[in-house]
Structure 1
Amino acid sequence: MTKVLITGGGGFIGQKLARRLAADGSLRGRQITAMTLIDLAEPKAPEAPFPVRTLAADISDASAVAQAYEGGQDVIFHLAAVVSGAAEADFDLGMRVNLDGTLNIFQAARRQGDSPVLVYSSSCAVHGGEAPDPVTDGVELNPQTSYGTQKAIGELLLNDMSRKGFLDGRGLRLPTISIRPGRPNAAASSFMSSIFREPLQGEPANCPVSRDYPVWHLPPRMIVEHLLHAATIDGADFGPNRNINLPGRTDTVGEMVDAMTRVAGPEPAKLITWNADPVIEKIVMGWRQRLLPEKAVRLGFRAPDSFEDSVRWFLEDDHRDVAQS
């Protein structure tokens, strides 16, 4: 019997993950008996063969986190965060949610006393500065944004609390997720979805960087697969560092636009404008976009074959016509 908690359960990845778990009905070889979704606004509950509890909760409030843990949790997916652009613009907000909130999630898992599995959503933004190009496994973290710094601190806490046996942690450094459904958000990387999502739905979008800007990316389908895979691996297989760089693809924005054109024809690309944004450029230029995640590959994680697949999957899964049908 397995109980599952998803923080950020109202977000698009949290919702996709919840629907997948509801469809599978099991995790780590055991039947799921209950699932809890928490977010700032009460998340939507998927149809499931087990009870699904939804809570509106701020993870920076320790008492609200304690409520989410009532009855104990066997597997926790910690996805909730203030995204990169918002964390850079409001340092205190980023610290409160990304650092204090993460510590609340970890401490609540510790208080259970039975070392639950905890999958932590980190970010490739922990790399930067003097990191080599490409980034290899074992490179020291050198984030160049407040968001990356907050995620890096979370990684160190995850390692230490796993070492102490308080929890069974696994940290995934997510690449840019493209193509995200929904609307643009405050992430500095938001344009890396909007320049495809909006044109594919007949709407204009601006690209604030040049065509030759490289992007380390993964599609939503594969993010969900990686989260589930991380939860099923034996924690000891991660070794002393429980945090890994996920496999992804590095393509330039121009190459991604060309891939979209091969799938959807020339019309969507005509809706993209190319007006530079110095604020966005300063943030994203500090990220590393070429990585060699050999450890993750050994653990069974995989990279996408092409951005063309990402475009096809968006049209199948998240295009407005699909969502409304």
Structure 2
Amino acid sequence: MKVLILGGGGFLGRKLALKLAKRQALRGKSIDQMVLADIVDPKPIEAPFPVHYQPCDISNPASVADCIDAETDVIYLLAAVVSAHAEEDLDAGLSANMMGVLNVLERCRALGTCPVVVFTSSIAVFGGDTPQPFNDFSLPNPQTSYGAQKMIGEYLVTDYSRRGLIDGRGFRLPTITVRPGKPNRAASSFMSSIFREPLNGEAANCPVEPDFKQLYLSPRKCIENLIKGAELQATDLGQNRCMTMPGKVWSIGQMIEAMTNVTGPAAATRITWQKQPEIEGILKGWHMDIRTDRGLALGLEPDDSFEDNIRIYLEDDAPQS
């Protein structure tokens, strides 16, 4: 089995690659080789099988064609321009988040091999004045360019699957927290920085009120679900190939209290509370009353509590002294 991770240089792509290297199998078959592709060469990983590293710009059809060949069995399509960047630069978002998806699917169509394609969408497809609660069959009503681009990707994945050109499945990711590294341009980036930086002894700002609610999931659970998602059978997915990955809805205040329960009160004192209108405007378009019954029924799992998210960060990603 050959696995390709588009976005293999990102934090989720790297974690997924490491997990698959340890697992050594997917969909009941041994992994014989893996390709990690991104705008820049991903960092090497150790694996019991060959791992190739390849620059890839998914907005460029020729670059995509260089990454996907007839031997590719499973494609993880994680590469994307994040939310705030897509809102600031419409062309960048369209090129990566809409045309990039189309380029990948068209390459699969040209090869005629019908690979499994795992597409990461976003809960940003929901919003506006659509009645709540949202479930997997609610009408998407995105309030950002990023959400609209991800919604188009979902429709393409489902349609190309209906035509037998790919065996697709898409998962709307909750906010993944606590992320390692530095803040990025995602509107939800603060959802990691207000825990990560204080836990590392640094200050961080929260741009929303303590009662702001968010659907969240830890990186560890996200990776487990992405692997389970690839192993689902087409007959179990039905006519709509996309769904929301299960998570838990907690308020910022509840999450900070959970961090305090795990590590004590010092970290919370390093959080400042200054509004950022450019972020607040995007977040107001998101709605968090989201039900994930379909993913749960298929065996995908949320975290048990946000205390677990804090513990997972400390175990997996916190800088070691």
With the shorter chain as reference, the TM-score category is over 0.9
Q: How does 1:306-321 map to 2 (within 5 A)?
A: 306-321=305-320
Task: Establish whether residue 116 from structure 1 lines up as the match of residue 115 from structure 2.
Answer: yes
1:286 & 1:153 partners in 2: Cα distance? 18
Which residue in 2 is equivalent to 1:153? 152
Using the TM superposition, give the Cα deviation of residue 70 of structure 1 relative to its aligned residue in structure 2, in angstroms.
3.2
Between the aligned residues of both structures, percent identity stands at: 50
* Conserved 8 A contact 2:38-2:79: yes
* Conserved 8 A contact 1:123-1:175: yes
Using the TM superposition, give the Cα deviation of residue 132 of structure 1 relative to its aligned residue in structure 2, in angstroms.
2.4
Question: What is the DSSP-based 3-state SS (H/G/I as helix, E as strand, rest coil) of the residue aligned with 1:4?
Answer: strand
Which residue in 2 is equivalent to 1:94? 93
Using the TM superposition, give the Cα deviation of residue 298 of structure 1 relative to its aligned residue in structure 2, in angstroms.
1.0
Question: What is the DSSP-based 3-state SS (H/G/I as helix, E as strand, rest coil) of the residue aligned with 1:198?
Answer: helix
Which residue in 1 is equivalent to 2:180? 181
Structure 1 residue runs without a partner (length 5+): none
Which residue in 2 is equivalent to 1:15? 14
Q: How does 1:42-81 map to 2 (within 5 A)?
A: 42-81=41-80
Question: What is the DSSP-based 3-state SS (H/G/I as helix, E as strand, rest coil) of the residue aligned with 1:59?
Answer: coil
The one-letter code of the counterpart of 1:124 is I
2:115 & 2:69 partners in 1: Cα distance? 14
Which residue in 1 is equivalent to 2:241? 242
Q: Higher mean Cα deviation, 7-16 or 110-119?
A: 110-119
Residue 65 to residue 307, structure 1, CA distance change in 2 (3 Å): same
Using the TM superposition, give the Cα deviation of residue 71 of structure 1 relative to its aligned residue in structure 2, in angstroms.
4.8
Q: 1:92-113: CA deviations, max 9, x gaps?
A: 1000011111111111122221
Deviating above 6 A after TM superposition, structure 1's stretches of 4 or more consecutive aligned residues are none
2:113 & 2:68 partners in 1: Cα distance? 13
1:169 & 1:218 partners in 2: Cα distance? 22
* Conserved 8 A contact 2:174-2:217: yes
1:169 & 1:46 partners in 2: Cα distance? 27
2:237 & 2:106 partners in 1: Cα distance? 21
* Conserved 8 A contact 1:125-1:145: yes
Using the TM superposition, give the Cα deviation of residue 137 of structure 1 relative to its aligned residue in structure 2, in angstroms.
2.5
Question: What is the DSSP-based 3-state SS (H/G/I as helix, E as strand, rest coil) of the residue aligned with 1:215?
Answer: strand
2:63 & 2:71 partners in 1: Cα distance? 14
1:118 & 1:278 partners in 2: Cα distance? 37
2:21 & 2:90 partners in 1: Cα distance? 36
Which residue in 1 is equivalent to 2:258? 259
* Conserved 8 A contact 1:74-1:116: yes
Using the TM superposition, give the Cα deviation of residue 131 of structure 1 relative to its aligned residue in structure 2, in angstroms.
2.3
2:110 & 2:32 partners in 1: Cα distance? 21
1:190 & 1:314 partners in 2: Cα distance? 15
Q: How does 1:277-296 map to 2 (within 5 A)?
A: 277-296=276-295
* Conserved 8 A contact 1:72-1:112: no
* Conserved 8 A contact 2:9-2:36: yes
* Conserved 8 A contact 2:69-2:111: no
1:36 & 1:129 partners in 2: Cα distance? 39
Q: 1:247-283: CA deviations, max 9, x gaps?
A: 1110000100000000011110010000011111110
Q: Higher mean Cα deviation, 56-65 or 164-173?
A: 56-65
Q: 1:292-322: CA deviations, max 9, x gaps?
A: 1111111111221100000000000000118
Which residue in 1 is equivalent to 2:34? 35
1:311 & 1:27 partners in 2: Cα distance? 29
The one-letter code of the counterpart of 2:75 is I
TM-score, structure 1 length as denominator? 0.97
Using the TM superposition, give the Cα deviation of residue 183 of structure 1 relative to its aligned residue in structure 2, in angstroms.
0.3
Using the TM superposition, give the Cα deviation of residue 133 of structure 1 relative to its aligned residue in structure 2, in angstroms.
2.4
Which residue in 2 is equivalent to 1:223? 222
2:243 & 2:44 partners in 1: Cα distance? 30
2:75 & 2:319 partners in 1: Cα distance? 30
1:265 & 1:110 partners in 2: Cα distance? 54
Using the TM superposition, give the Cα deviation of residue 191 of structure 1 relative to its aligned residue in structure 2, in angstroms.
0.2
Structure 2 residue runs without a partner (length 5+): none
Q: 1:54-102: CA deviations, max 9, x gaps?
A: 0112111111111111353100000000000000000010000111111
Question: What is the DSSP-based 3-state SS (H/G/I as helix, E as strand, rest coil) of the residue aligned with 1:187?
Answer: coil
Q: Higher mean Cα deviation, 51-60 or 309-318?
A: 51-60
Q: How many residues get paired?
A: 321
2:270 & 2:141 partners in 1: Cα distance? 37
Using the TM superposition, give the Cα deviation of residue 134 of structure 1 relative to its aligned residue in structure 2, in angstroms.
2.0
RMSD: 0.9
